[in-house]
Structure 1
Amino acid sequence: MNYSNRKEKCSEKCNKVVGFTFALLAAFSWALCGLLFKYVKDAGADEVQLARSILQFIVSLPLLTYRRENIFQDDLKTNLLIIIRGAISVLGNWFFYSSIKFAPLGDAVSVTNTCITLVGLVACICLKESCSVIEALLSILTFVGLVLVARPSFLFRNMASESAENMTAGILLAFATVLCNTASIIVIRYLGSGVHFIITMLHYSWVGVVYSLALFASEGTLQIPCMDDLLLILLIAVVGILGQMLMTISLQKEKAGHVVVVQSTQIIFALILQLVFLGYSPTLTSLIGSLIIFFSSVVLTLKKIRGSNTQKEKADRD
């Protein structure tokens, strides 16, 4: 093996290590955002969304100027899809933080990670992508895990009425996050790699600012949070943006399928963080459901990676 081949192989291994490390840090940072939001007392998801959007706009605009990217594309349909994707992502982010107010952190994060399975089903219907029997079975298994996490009152009678109502509200909000994230990923798949991620970040930012201000104006609740909440909200915004950047870098260094597997560890991080810092131990059914969702997500992604590698090897032989 000559020097150039050894150098290329070493570079490939370094990219894999960096990709996996950054994906792991991104998963941890998103779980950390949920934990920090648990400590916010008087402010809600609206304030977090506004702070995140403003900070992300401040970060993305200089990057967009440096790369000399056009904010708007030549195609009207592409521009509309980018804006729609931004609006969907803003709603998804708002639903996620709202769900944490009602449901335990680990349960909310577990439900939102069912997005990996749901994307495959929606892509099969909308984008005509193939869907095997194993993928269908894993989807059913994910639904079983979702039921165990949600613990609906008509199946689990041992929950207090107030706890059941809060849990139901939290799970419904978390599932709304899943629907938004699924729609967002489908739009990104449809757009392809022709649109740089900084452009979508910028459109997410201004849509988030407009949405938050419109919501505050309609409800008449716009007020500056107390200093403790304000610091937490700013920290959540910074950690959230950092997580998004880490995930973007990991996708540039490693295959998307591998990154998605690592991203699923967000469930494990959330369960550990809520146990260590919040002193909340998940119920047995909730823990089993979370592990089922984690298992289904990992197996489904690994299957897709194996199928992709098989197709690539077949194409190379041909």
Structure 2
Amino acid sequence: MLLVTTLNILDLDKKMISNERFIKPEKDTNTLLHSLVTDSQSNSDIELQETTFEFNQLGLEKDTDNNNNNNDKKYQQAKVQEEFEIDIPIVKTSILEIIKSRLGFILIVTSAFFYSIYSLMVGVVIRSGMHFLEAILLRSAIGLIGGIIFLLLIGENPLGDKSKRLILVFRGLSSTSSAVCVFYTISVLPLGDAIAMSCSTLLFTGVLGSTILKEKWTTINSICTILSIVGVIIISKPSFIFGNNVNDESISQAKRILFTLIGVLGAFFQSVSNVFSRKIGKDTNPFVLVVYYQSIVVVSILPVCLFLNILRAPSLNQWLYLLGMGVLGFIFQGMGNRAFQIENVAKVSPLNYTQIIFTYIMQILFFKESPDIFSIFGSICIILCAVITAIKN
């Protein structure tokens, strides 16, 4: 009996030993040691380690994927907020906010588009035989009447802020002087040469803005200014650069120099107007500036037209074009003024010359006149300038 019992015990031990190699221990030595150390820590230490680990994981994810889109960022923010109950605001940028941040650049390009349509109407009226001074006078008179009515309807004083009326008058005088100089050069010089003279506005505007308004002049501003000037000169093909084979020469060299100086003077006056617009500030309605300009045009040019006896009764078609010029002139001048009021003048000035691109498009569509290789290359320069300015800002 004792022998049987002993054999049974030995058999049981043998089975246990034989089966022992198939039983996997729950934890190895390192795991048990780690468990003992972990058990000795407080609950706060555990939470701190877990939190640090999770944030490190999020940091690693961010470092390994720098090109995540806005949805990925929002997902990470939501994940952290859900795991650790931390309030992280998710910033949403609406389309209106984007437009508002770039309003000055949008306004100047839109103003250039309306100006191209306005230029077509001016060309049609002048070709019909109307003197350019009469066209400016009648267009300004129509715009003045409409501007006063518009400002009164919106509850705005056409005279503007009393403290800024003097500078508004000076701006109106500079704008009027610029218009007279530029239109005069257009009437006595080839159109391309006159445009080349007016392109120097960019240089004057940047210099005046940096010296008077203390605005920062950057390398990008210099590049865009030079690029715009080169583009406009190439488009306009002035004969004093490209020679007489491009443009017919019908005036003496002395007169050409005089007319060129008058054109540059007009560009300078326009630059002064742009700086005045910035100096006046955002709180003045931009159409108040237009009313002042048109008022001074009427007061100053009407006596000249009467003295020269150039006033003629317009035809019905001319009246329609003049009406359209008055409306478009009021709109594009108001937009342009606002752009210079709210933005750096050196930044928005290059974009103002996109009007040349729009004008050539209108020329192709309505006058069936295709630009040559010089015009195409110059347009590319201006487009590059506009793109660089838009990306920079």
When normalised by structure 2's length, the TM-score is 0.61
Q: Provide the rounded CA distance (Å) in 2 between the counterparts of 1:302 and 1:214.
A: 47
Bigger mean CA deviation after superposition, 95-104 or 263-272: 95-104
Aligned match of 2:176: 90
Which position in structure 2 is the counterpart of 1:312?
none
Q: Would you say the 8 A contact 2:231–2:378 is kept in 1?
A: yes
Q: Whole-Å Cα distance in 2 between the matches of residues 209 and 198 of structure 1?
A: 16
Pair 1:59–1:288, CA change in 2 (3 A):
same
Residue 295 of structure 1, CA deviation: 3.0
The alignment status of 1:42 with 2:115, answered yes or no, reads no
| More divergent stretch after superposition (140-149 vs 118-127) | 140-149
Moved more, 42-51 or 27-36: 42-51
2:206 to 114, 120, 123: 120
Structure-1 residue corresponding to 2:380: 291
Q: Distance in 1 between matches of 2:198 and 2:293?
A: 20
Please say if 1:162 is aligned against 2:250: yes
Structure 1 residues 122 and 191: CA distance shift in structure 2, 3 A: same
Q: Does residue 234 in structure 1 map to residue 312 in structure 2?
A: no
Distance 2:121 2:190 in 1: 13
The aligned amino acid for 2:282 is S
Aligned letter for 1:232? Y
Within 5 Å, which residues of 2 pair with 1:208-223?
208-223=297-312
**Structure 2 counterpart of 1:42, which letter?**
G
Residue 132 (str. 1) matches residue 204 (str. 2): no
Report the Cα distance in structure 2 between the residues aligned to 1:107 and 1:29, rounded to whole angstroms: 23
Structure 2 gaps of 5+ residues are: 1-73, 75-89
Amino acid at match of 1:92: S
8 Å contact kept, 2:176–2:296: yes
2:285 matches 1:192:
no
Query: How high is the sequence identity, in percent, across the aligned residues?
Result: 22
Which of residues 364, 372, 391 in structure 2 aligns to 1:275? 364
Matched position secondary structure for 2:282: helix
Structure 1 contact 105–270 (Cα < 8 Å) conserved: no
CA contact (8 A) 2:105 2:351 kept: yes
The structure, 1 or 2, with the larger RCO (C-alpha pairs under 8 Å, 6+ apart) is 1
On the 8 A contact 2:228/2:350 being kept in 1, the answer is no
Q: Which residue of 2 aligns with 1:145?
A: 231
Structure 1: gaps (5+ residues) = 306-318
- In structure 2, what is the Cα distance between the partners aligned to 1:83 and 1:267? 29
- In the TM superposition, what is the alpha-carbon distance from 1:171 to its structure 2 partner? 7.2
- Compare 15-24 and 235-244 and name the one that shifted more: 15-24
RMSD: 4.2
Q: Which amino acid aligns with 2:285?
A: H
Q: Structure 1: which amino acid aligns with 2:248?
A: A
Q: Which has the larger Rg? A: 2
Q: 1:206 to 1:279 in 2, by over 3 A?
A: same
The question of whether the paired residues in 2 share the 8 Å contact of 1:261 and 1:301 is answered with no
Q: 1:265 aligns with which of 337, 354, 373?
A: 354
Residue-by-residue CA offset, 1:169-228 (whole Å, 9 max, x unaligned): 997776554323211011122222343323322212221111221211231222223333
Measured after TM superposition, the shift of residue 276 of structure 1 is: 2.7
CA distance in 2, matches of 1:151, 1:203: 34
Give the AA of the match of 1:49: I
**Per-residue deviation, residues 42-81 of structure 1 (Å, max 9, x unmatched):** 1132122222322222222234434253726444xx4322
Compared with structure 1, are the counterparts of its residues 9 and 135 closer, same or farther at alpha carbon in structure 2 (3 Å cutoff)?
Answer: closer
Superposition deviation, residue 95 in structure 1: 4.3
2:138 aligned partner:
51
Question: Whole-Å Cα distance in 1 between the matches of residues 215 and 335 of structure 2?
Answer: 28
- Distance in 2 of aligned mates of 1:100 and 1:8: 46
Q: Deviations over 1:210-261 (max 9, x none)?
A: 1221211231222223333333222222222233355578889x97789767
Say yes or no: does 1:33 pair with 2:118. yes
CA offset digits 1:287-310 (Å, max 9, x no partner): 43343244335534654x2xxxxx
Is 2:155 the counterpart of 1:67? yes
Distance 1:14 1:86 in 2: 29
When normalised by structure 1's length, the TM-score is: 0.73
Structure 1 pair 70–31 and aligned structure 2 pair: CA distance change class (3 A): closer
- Shift, 1:273, TM fit: 1.4
| Alpha-carbon spacing, 1:280–1:288, altered in 2? closer, same or farther (3 Å) | same
